[in-house]
Amino acid sequence: MRSRSSPSTVRSRRPGRGPGRVDVYLLPAVVGGGLGDIEEVLAAGRRLAAAGFPVFLYRRPGRPWPRGVDGPWEWPRLERVVAPARRNRTAITVTPAWGISAAPEGPPPLGAAGQWADEAADLERAYGKDGVLHASLEEFARTLTTREENRERLREGGTRSRELERGLARATAAGEVAAFDTAFRRFRAFDRPNVLHLFATFVRDRRFAAEFPAAVQTGPLWPGRFRSRPTARRTRRDWVWYASPASAEELLADVEAGLAGADPPVRLYVRVPRPWRRARPGPATTVETAPVDPTAWRRRFAGAELRIVTGSRTLLEAIEVGRPFLYFNGVLGAGAARRRHRPEKAIALLRIARAAGWPADLVRDLRDFAGGRRVAEVVAHAAGHVGGWARPWPGLGPVGFSPPFDDAGALLVRVAGAMGRPGASAAAVVARVRAGSNP
């Protein structure tokens, strides 16, 4: 792993065995297309390390790291080990979608073992199956019922709005909806009593809770790195854009057109995971494809006048910074067939923005930009501080949760504390949290 961003290998100076102690293991991996899954695991590690729990990164000797884990990342303080540490009687793992990334091998054809399956099994042998609680971080804001998931599957597949209900009826009659439900429950490993499935989101969904009682909805797992704003005075106007979706390239010309009349002018810094093939950036735009040092990126991100973000992690970072942002998670198709990719995060964002009293014109601009519409006009509004863009933005927070369920990080700390008590049982802790009780 790269030395600049590798996890610390300094042996923990904290006391060993004792009541109220539990070993924490991070099992980072990429589950979707982006690298946010890894950052979310590291954010959980930072929260648990700050609370005083010993954090470890365990990988069997000779086993390659899962894709993307070698960074560069801003790791929490942890200790790398080549065998279960067993500093304490019990343990917690933090994994993105445990049923995919750490579950053991299952029946074919879709039963391949997860990238962390061997290590998860080793930990259960070392601490006992009921001595290990697996915290599974599921996709942010994806709290759809089976019917909604299948409707969304058809929409993203190109079915027009007027045909969706008929398409859903055909899918139900063909058994596709039932098959999806079976697969969803299997690959989330809802049947495992020592796996705690955390579905972080902005707005608690009662219908999802009723259909999947094993799924624990929480408020966001906040990054925790942007609480204090930079105090240095800006000498120029900088915007940053984390342009992860492939379709972000299609927006560049309109973004630059919207910035063309800005006075003073705006410099645009674009960070992309892969080189753009068609876009031709203008002289005021920098497109960065190489890995970026985490500290340098955080400084640039926090100090920008505006951020264009994607996915869940940079969205939460933008909210945490508390300054203006735009959100774009990608689009599919073109022309009249253009449709948003995975729009649930944007939908949930707009719900809490309205609940917080954001101006209607600002909400409309955020909505349209997220769908790839009116891009140049929206950018011009933001750059020119037009309408709602000229006013302070009220803070945003999750809706429908009670503490500690309003903050995934706070809940994880409570769960870790519960697992550190004498006689703690992973199945009992998971059952209490699933029932909505304090761990």
| 133 and 51 belong to one structural domain | yes
In a domain, 229, yes or no: no
Backbone angles phi, psi at 14, to 5 degrees: -75, 155
Q: How confident is the model at residue 157 (pLDDT cuts 50, 70, 90)?
A: confident
| 386 and 407 belong to one structural domain | no
Number of domains in the chain: 2
| 290 and 361 belong to one structural domain | yes
Q: How confident is the model at residue 235 (pLDDT cuts 50, 70, 90)?
A: low
Tokens 């876009």 map to which residue? 279
Mean pLDDT within 83-102: 97
In a domain, 204, yes or no: yes
In a domain, 245, yes or no: yes
In a domain, 321, yes or no: yes
| 263 and 357 belong to one structural domain | yes
Looking at residue 15, its pLDDT comes to 39
| 196 and 342 belong to one structural domain | no
Helix (H, G, I), strand (E, B) or coil at 322: coil
Backbone angles phi, psi at 105, to 5 degrees: -60, 140
| 197 and 92 belong to one structural domain | yes
| 336 and 423 belong to one structural domain | no
Contact 7, 23 (CB under 8 A): no
In a domain, 163, yes or no: no
Residue 181: how many CA atoms within 13 Å on its side-chain side? 13
pTM over 0.85: yes
Q: Single out the residue of 258, 213, 219, 206 nearest to residue 368, CA to CA.
A: 258
Looking at residue 19, its pLDDT comes to 37
In a domain, 174, yes or no: no
Judged by phi (left if over 0) then psi (alpha if -120 to 50, else beta), residue 387 lies in: left
Contact 66, 30 (CB under 8 A): yes
Looking at residue 3, its pLDDT comes to 33
| 321 and 430 belong to one structural domain | no
Q: Which letter, b or e, does each residue of 5-29 get, where b requires 16 or more Cβ atoms within 10 Å of its Cβ?
A: bebeeeebeeeeeeeebbbbbbbbb
| 318 and 204 belong to one structural domain | no
Three-state secondary structure string covering 139-202: CCCCCCCHHHHHHHHHHHCCCCHHHHHHHHHHHHHCCHHHHHHHHHHHHCCCCCCCEEEEEECC
Looking at residue 5, its pLDDT comes to 44
Residue 87 identity (one-letter amino acid): R
| 206 and 286 belong to one structural domain | no
Contact 378, 365 (CB under 8 A): yes
Contact 80, 60 (CB under 8 A): no
Max Cα-Cα span within the chain: 66
Residue 329: how many CA atoms within 13 Å on its side-chain side? 21
What residue numbers bound the domain in which 336 lies?
237-390
pLDDT surpasses 90 at 141:
yes
CATH number of 275's domain: 3.40.50
| 280 and 244 belong to one structural domain | yes
Contact 141, 197 (CB under 8 A): no
Q: How confident is the model at residue 12 (pLDDT cuts 50, 70, 90)?
A: very low
Q: What is the pLDDT of residues 404-420, one digit of tens each?
A: 999 999 999 999 999 99
In a domain, 144, yes or no: no
The sign of the CA dihedral 51, 54, 60, 63 is positive
Point out the least confidently predicted range of 10-19, 21-30, 55-64, 346-355: 10-19
Q: Which letter, b or e, does each residue of 339-362 get, where b requires 16 or more Cβ atoms within 10 Å of its Cβ?
A: bbbbbbbbebbbebbeeeebbeeb
Q: Single out the residue of 42, 50, 52 nearest to residue 74, CA to CA.
A: 42
In a domain, 131, yes or no: yes
| 115 and 46 belong to one structural domain | yes
DSSP string, 64-88: PPPTTTTS---PPS-EEESS---SS
Instruction: Round to the nearest angstrom and report the end-to-end CA distance of the chain.
Output: 36
